[in-house]
Amino acid sequence: HKKSKSTVTQIDKIRVSSELKRIRTELKRLTSLFQKTWKMELYRLLLFISCILSSYGRLNPNRFPDDFFFGTATASYQIEGAWNLSDNFFIIFIITYKYGSNGDIACDSYHKYEEDVALIKNMGVQFYRFSLSWSRILPTGFDYKINPDGIRYYNDLINLLIKNDIVPLVTLFHWDTPQPLEDLGGFANELMAEWFEDYARVVFENFGDRVRHWLTFNEPRQICLEGYGGDGKAPGYESSGIGDYLCAHNLIRAHARAYHLYDQEFRPLQNGNISITLDAVWSEPITNSTFDKEAAERVLEFQFAWFADPIFSPNGDYPDVMKKLVAERSQKEGFRRSRLPEFTGKEVEYIKGTSDFFGLNHYTTVVTKDAPDTPIGGKPSSLKDSQTVYSQDPSWPSGTSSWLKVIPWGFTRILVWIKNRYGDIPIHITENGFSDHGEIDDQGRINYYKLYLSALLDAIYDHKVNVKMYTAWSLLDNFEWRDGYV
Q: What percent of the chain has pLDDT over 70?
A: 84
Average pLDDT rounded to a whole number, residues 321-344: 99
CATH of the domain at 96: 3.20.20.80
The whole-number pLDDT of residue 107 equals 76
Asked if residue 8 has pLDDT above 60, the reply is no
Q: Are residues 30 and 113 in the same domain?
A: no
Domain annotation covers residue 60: no
Do 39 and 97 lie in a common domain?
no
Average pLDDT of the residues in 297-320:
99
Range(s) of the domain holding residue 425: 68-483
Separation between Cα atoms, residue 229 and residue 268, nearest integer Å? 39
The yes-or-no verdict on residue 105 having pLDDT over 90 is no
How much is the pLDDT for 428? 99
- Whether residue 62 lies inside any domain: the answer is no
Domain endpoint, select from 54, 77, 96:
54
For 188-232, what is each residue's pLDDT tens digit? 999 999 999 999 999 999 999 999 999 999 999 999 999 999 998
Residue 403 lies in a domain: yes
Q: How many CA atoms lie within 13 A of 121 on its CB side?
A: 12
Residues 409 and 288 in one domain: yes
Which one of 197, 219, 284, 297 is the catalytic residue? 219
Question: Which pLDDT score, from 0 to 100, does residue 5 have?
Answer: 46
- Residue 367's DSSP bridge partners are 284, 391
Mean pLDDT of the chain: 90
Shared domain for 14 and 137, answered yes or no, is no
- pLDDT value of residue 4: 47
Same domain, 95 and 135: yes
* 59 located within any domain: no
Of the residues 80, 197, 226, 431, only one is catalytic, namely: 431
- Is the confidence at residue 181, as pLDDT, over 50? yes
> pLDDT tens digits, residue range 231-261?
988 899 999 999 999 999 999 999 999 999 9
Interatomic CA distance for residues 382 and 221, integer angstroms: 11
301 has catalytic annotation: no
Q: Is residue 283 part of a domain?
A: yes
Tell me if 328 is assigned to some domain. yes
Segment 437-474, tens digit of pLDDT: 888 899 999 999 999 999 999 999 999 999 999 999 99
Task: Examine the domain organization and report whether 306 and 335 are in the same domain.
Answer: yes
**Claim to verify: residue 449 and residue 382 sit in the same structural domain:** yes
Please tell me the predicted confidence (pLDDT) of residue 480: 72
Instruction: State whether 214 and 359 are in the same domain.
Output: yes
The stretch 58-71 carries a mean pLDDT of 96
> Residue 63 falls within a domain, yes or no?
no
Among candidates 320, 304, 415, 307, which has minimal Cα distance to 355?
Answer: 307
- Give the chain's domain count: 2
Task: Give the C-alpha separation, 47 to 86, whole Å.
Answer: 54
Same domain, 5 and 73: no
pLDDT one-digit tens code per residue, 347-389: 999 999 999 999 999 999 999 999 999 999 999 999 999 999 9
For residues 195 and 98, state if they share a domain: yes
Mean pLDDT value across residues 113-121: 98
HSE, side-chain direction, 13 A CA sphere, residue 226: 14
Q: Are residues 128 and 31 in the same domain?
A: no
One domain, residues 357 and 389: yes
Domain-embedded: residue 61: no
Is there a catalytic annotation at residue 238?
no
Short-list 211, 222, 209, 212, CA closest to 176: 222
